[in-house]
């Protein structure tokens, strides 16, 4: 008698576990991928600045903790994110560098003229080659790089008050001892 009940319950249990498994998958944003570069050194790069004729490389940024914000004037979500970046940069917590990803210099400059420039400096990645090294698959994306040049966090999509408060600020606090000067 008991055995029959157990046997009858088996399909129900299997069904319920499937329901739980699939329910967990519902509503998950499949575009959010974990970065393979967390806790790894920042890729080597050497790129011209959009703002002047300096060349910026990974070594020249070492010693400071900074955000690297990947954007392009072609990217609608970058425009949505722009006020958030501006607000974060205004607070002077750490410098914000821009990586102008697969954009035309003229378009990028026009965009900055129209909306304002929150960036300490902007690196020009015209062909997206450095973007590949960073594992960029869309814009905007934001990397947190500590004073030792190690990537500590990545935000895919727009910066917003939640991910700044819950993800970026705690990480910045955790690694602030890597800042040298």
Which residues would be at the binding site for other proteins (CB under 8 A)?
A: 30-31, 33-37, 43, 102, 127-129, 131-135, 137-138
User: Hey, how many other C-beta atoms are within 10 angstroms of the C-beta on 66?
Assistant: 21
In three-state secondary structure terms, 31 is coil
CB of 36 to other proteins, least distance (A): 4
Scan for tokens 């903790």, then name that residue: 65
Q: What angle do CA 115, 121, 124 make, to 5 degrees?
A: 90
Nearer to other proteins, 34 or 76 (CB): 34
CB of 1 to other proteins, least distance (A): 19
Nearer to other proteins, 128 or 157 (CB): 128
Nearer to other proteins, 136 or 164 (CB): 136
Residues 6+ apart with CB under 8 A from 157: 31, 32, 77, 140, 141
Q: In what order do the strands lie in the sheet with 151-156?
A: 121-125, 96-101, 66-71, 141-145, 151-156
Nearer to other proteins, 33 or 55 (CB): 33
CB of 98 to other proteins, least distance (A): 19
CB of 148 to other proteins, least distance (A): 19
């Amino acid at each position: 008698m008991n055995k029959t009940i157990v046997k009858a319950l088996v399909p129900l249990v299997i069904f319920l576990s499937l329901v739980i498994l699939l329910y967990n998958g519902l509503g998950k944003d499949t575009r959010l991928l974990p970065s393979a570069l967390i806790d790894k050194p920042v890729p080597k790069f050497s790129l011209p600045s959009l703002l002047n004729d300096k060349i910026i490389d990974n070594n020249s940024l070492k010693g400071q903790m900074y955000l690297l914000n990947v954007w392009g004037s072609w990217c609608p979500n970058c425009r949505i994110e722009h006020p958030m970046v501006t607000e974060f940069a205004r607070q002077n917590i750490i410098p914000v560098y821009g990586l102008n990803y697969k954009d035309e210099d003229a378009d990028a400059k026009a965009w900055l003229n129209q909306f304002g420039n929150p960036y300490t400096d902007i690196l020009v990645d015209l062909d997206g080659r450095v973007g590949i090294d960073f594992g960029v698959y869309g814009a905007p994306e934001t990397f947190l790089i500590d004073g030792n040049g190690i990537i500590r966090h990545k935000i895919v999509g727009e910066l917003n008050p939640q991910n700044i408060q819950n993800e970026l600020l705690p990480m910045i606090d955790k690694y602030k001892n890597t800042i040298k000067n």
